Structure 1
Amino acid sequence: MKIVIADDHAVVRTGFSMLINYQSDMEVIGTAADGRQAFEKVKSLGPDVLLMDLSMPPGESGLFAASRINDAFPEVKILILTMYDDEEYIVHTFKSGAKGYILKNSPDDELIRAIRKVHGGERYVDPVLMDDNIERLLNNEAVPEQSDKPFSILTRRELEILPLIAKGYGNKDIAEMLFVSVKTVEAHKSRIMEKLELSNRPELVEYAMKKKLIDF
């Protein structure tokens, strides 16, 4: 199976590449440092599995890239690799089209097992994280109170714009990055502030950091 690895740390990409290439039925055909690069690698190389970090500052994070990649290339199985064990991240990444969610500190053999499972079309959640509550959430049987913001309140585009505003990009910069008009960005910004009941940029920055939507 052909695999692309997306992580902002070169040493991580190298280490996982060595582990995966050691398997007789796996080959790493490309690597990327952020979500945008991951999209381009998937587009040009056509992998079977994309192993992608959730947080890749300062580039586009896997949290937003997963949706774009799944929409454009639904045949590619996305396995999220992360340090975050929050329920809301697990649920949101699966809603974005990911097939698996594994922690970075998992044993090597567990990572290989996860790749095989998602490649085979099965859903995978790191055993350390899996419990009855997560199972219910993934089956849409319950939604915890802490998951109501921002992932269920904001649209995908608003979730993409919020961290860019928090990082200090202006409306024109964001419009150019996302290939939309300045008026569209301004409209999204107003809706974000209204939905989250925020009144200024410092509050938005604090909120984004608290929810791990940005890293510095």
Structure 2
Amino acid sequence: MIRTLIVDDQSMIRVGIRAILESQEDITVVGEAENGRLGVERSRSLRPDVVLMDVRMPVLDGLAATRALLGPRRTEGHTPRVLMLTTFDLDDYIYAALQAGASGFLLKDAEPEDLLRAVRVVAAGEALLAPSITRRLIENFVETRPRQLAGDSALNGLTDREREVLRLMALGMSNAEIAASLFIAEQTTKTHVSRILQKLGLRDRVQAVVFGYETGLVTPGGQG
């Protein structure tokens, strides 16, 4: 059973999300919170698998709450996955959430089936990197930042195949899509992803996507 916590200052949003999630046999809502501070407190006490976190909230916003749950100063113990609820007009803000450790993003007007898929994907330990959301957010932010030349030496430590897998990850492809594109087994793709994260010293798939853009392996608006 996937345990979820809904953190949003709009009661109608919380009610709607709860109804969708609790219609499923494998998902349950363990609690709600109307601001980031309560979200952090209830996450620590209720120990959900996935926190659905709004971006803009009173008392403590979604970014600060995500940092409190996942950042270097987090309380030791249970660490949930965070799925950000967002809109396209918060690009810089969401990029910071990526750095804080958020596992993915979902538009508030997403279809119910997209919400359910997002929760399951994030709960399974994958990052939700839909090209329509994450790629645009990262591209728009990277356009305003200088390229990280220090990352070139790290890229040189990857094999040609690993660089190609990283490039496709940065384009928002899932493991299955990468496997199909490169004509390799999905398990082989998972192995490549694991080695890439280890070699680059990255925490998760989201950081790998950010790294791909910041080092110029993939360019904003381009294909890398």
Normalization by structure 2: what TM-score?
A: 0.58
**Which residue pairs with 1:176 in the alignment?**
none
**DSSP-derived class of the 1:141 partner:** helix
**Which residue pairs with 2:113 in the alignment?**
109
Aligned-residue CA RMSD (Å): 2.3
1:81 aligns with 2:82: no
Q: Distance in 2 between matches of 1:126 and 1:40?
A: 29
Q: Distance in 2 between matches of 1:67 and 1:79?
A: 13
Q: Distance in 2 between matches of 1:74 and 1:91?
A: 24
**Which residue pairs with 2:153 in the alignment?**
none
Identity within the alignment, %: 31
| Number of residues of Structure 1 aligned to a counterpart in Structure 2 | 143
**Which residue pairs with 1:64 in the alignment?**
64
TM-fit CA distance, 1:92? 1.3
Q: Distance in 1 between matches of 2:27 and 2:81?
A: 14
Q: Which runs of 4+ in 1 moved over 6 A?
A: none
Q: Distance in 2 between matches of 1:143 and 1:94?
A: 13
1:53 aligns with 2:54: yes
TM-fit CA distance, 1:125? 2.8
Q: Match for 1:124: what amino acid?
A: L
Gaps of 5+ in 2: 140-169, 172-207, 216-224
**After the TM superposition, which of the residue ranges 90-99 and 70-79 deviates more from structure 2?**
70-79
Q: Match for 1:39: what amino acid?
A: V
Q: Is the 8 A contact 2:50 2:83 kept in 1?
A: yes
For residues 149-204 of structure 1, the C-alpha deviation after alignment (integer angstroms, 9 at most, x for no partner) is xxxxxxxxxxxxxxxxxxxxxxxxxxxxxxxxxxxxxxxxxxxxxxxxxxxxxxxx
**Which residue pairs with 1:164 in the alignment?**
none
Q: Distance in 2 between matches of 1:14 and 1:130?
A: 26
TM-fit CA distance, 1:42? 0.7
For residues 8-52 of structure 1, the C-alpha deviation after alignment (integer angstroms, 9 at most, x for no partner) is 011111110010000110000100001100011111111111001
- Aligned to 1:94, which of 91, 98, 104? 98
**DSSP-derived class of the 2:212 partner:** coil
Q: Distance in 2 between matches of 1:40 and 1:130?
A: 28
Instruction: Map 1:129-168 onto structure 2 (within 5 A).
Output: 129-131=133-135, 134=139, 135=170, 138-143=209-214
**DSSP-derived class of the 1:124 partner:** coil
